[in-house]
Structure 1
Amino acid sequence: MRLLLLEDETDLAAILIKGLHESGFTVDHVTRLDAAEDALAVGSFDVAVLDRIVPDGDSIDLLKGRIAGFGCPVLLLTARDALQDKVDGLEAGADDYLLKPFHFDELLARLRALLRRPNTALGVRLVSGNLSFDTPTRTAEVGGSPLVLSRRELALLELLMRRMGRVVTKDVIESALYAFDDELGSNAIEVLVHRLRRKLVSAESSAAIHTLRGIGYMLDDAS
């Protein structure tokens, strides 16, 4: 799941990025409104977390233009607790509103709630044959036994399971799993797919990854 974070407080941003990474999100972090606008124009995000007031303006101005450019759910962060501020944010287009200071667990729960809404991407439990993936806990099992995967392997497995039986191109994988500033080797996707495939085979998963040379990858269940 790819997330855009607009937050200019360095310490808070570092805490959020660490927690979001551990929860399975790929995070693109920006500190200015114009950078968030540029990111949304060229990137494909599953959800956005926007600080209300940043050095170059008010995120409400960006929200008002969302109809013209982006369609991912938006959670607005703010220290403003007046009722009218909440109303302004929600009426401008925010899907949820969280007051600072907040606990990370609440932020995560609100993000998951947003992504469980109709027409969004996050389900609860993905199952294919004897392979299962629990999105809230970020755990995978084969035949009821834990499948130990890295954060990025889990992200790839989730992406492939959500598109079960359909081809997923390298470009789609790169966009979903890597942030703008991630350094990506020329064969990084191939290596990641190879590692995940090897672990699925070793665990005797009924679902297998197939390579369609020059096109992409597909997860299919043979059971």
Structure 2
Amino acid sequence: FLLFFQVKGPGIGLLGISLGADICLLMASFLKNISATVSINGSGFSGNRTIQYKQTRIPPLGFDLRRTKVAFSGILDIVDIRNDLVGGYKNPSMIPIEKAQGPILFIVGQDDHNWRSELYAQTASDRLQAHGKGKPQIISYPGTGHYIEPPYFPMCPASLHILLNKAVMWGGEMRAHSKAQIDAWEQIISFFRKHLGTQKRTSRL
């Protein structure tokens, strides 16, 4: 049968959502051969615990659960619990994304209720430009929540938060969120094709 190898190499692309996006940003900042990175509603900060890689130590931004709100439905709204971004892009809790070798695409839901993804993406843009890097591509979707998944995945407006062990809202309006998932997928594919190449090698076994 045929195997289709879609990674051109030697560089690779990273795609992550939420905390997974922050892990991708960390990898892009500290590891070699990362040619392109897509952050879907990531924060770009060390959130709840200190991150250490070799001699680099990134302290947590921290949060305050007293800022939790309860929606009419009884589900928690945690969008305001994270601490303020004192110092903006100079905040010591920010991932040093200026060290990334390849470009970064930020996909943002403007109705994200996990954290303020649009603010974080703009802060990341400010940091990159302050370090002489080009302005990154930021694609923001109104009426769109935290979990921007592949097209036709059902929208997840709320679910159990593994750290809080309680149901929290993720935001988003059904129609707008669903349309955003379709467009975001196309944007991601286009981004990777541009920066990773589209050559395919086939091998017959």
TM-score between both structures, scaled by the size of structure 1? 0.28
TM-score between both structures, scaled by the size of structure 2? 0.30
Which of structures 1 and 2 has the larger relative contact order (alpha carbons within 8 angstroms, sep 6+)? 2
